[in-house]
Amino acid sequence: MIEVRDILKVKGPKVWGVKSSQTVREAMEILVRENIGALLVFNAQGKIAGIVSERDIARTCYNHPQNFSLTAIGTIMTKKVIVGKPEDKIDYIMGIMTKNRVRHIPIVSGSQLEGLISIGDVVKAQLQKTEYENQYLKEYMFGGESTTSDR
């Protein structure tokens, strides 16, 4: 069974973030530059205070078209952040993401931020797991013979 830590081994621990006092424009610059979909929001002590996604910013642009870029991230971020643990199974994390309609979950071990995973990371891991299981079953069924069409 694949665990979140397996995703982080491949993805790495890098997490992009902003302070709650930074503006939507500053957050957008990071999202675009890094080609990512969400940023963690940190308080003055460096602790997770929230998360802000492209969707949060799009809503702000729509609701406040005149001055959205100057809006403080702290006013639009999601304050209730769902976190995962490195030992969580990806099936569990996928269920949590689906149930709560979130696309990004920070991974925390104790008080240490270990990384941030997206629904895309989880789906990719699930697909790799399925491909591995399919290959294993083919090898089992055909007694280790090649199952590819390159014979």
The pLDDT, as a whole number, for residue 127 is: 80
The pLDDT, as a whole number, for residue 144 is: 62
pLDDT (tens digit per residue) in 108-150: 999 899 999 999 999 998 887 666 666 666 676 777 655 555 4
* 108 within domain boundaries: yes
pLDDT (tens digit per residue) in 46-74: 899 999 999 999 999 999 888 888 999 99
pLDDT exceeding 70 applies to what percent of the chain?
A: 87
* 150 within domain boundaries: no
Of 60, 73, 69, the closest CA to residue 21 belongs to 73
| CB-count burial class (<10 Å; 0-12, 13-18, 19+) for 44 | exposed
The pLDDT, as a whole number, for residue 130 is: 66
Q: The domain containing residue 113 runs over which residues?
A: 4-141
* 134 within domain boundaries: yes
* 26 within domain boundaries: yes
CB 29 within 8 A of CB 52: no
* 22 within domain boundaries: yes
Residue 151 has pLDDT above 50, yes or no: no
* 121 within domain boundaries: yes
CATH for 9: 3.10.580.10
Residue 86 has pLDDT above 70, yes or no: yes
104, β-bridge pairs: 118
Q: Which helix (H) or strand (E) element contains residue 51?
A: strand 48-53
Number of domains in the chain: 1
* 147 within domain boundaries: no
Global pTM reads: 0.81
* 146 within domain boundaries: no
Give the mean pLDDT of 19-27.
95
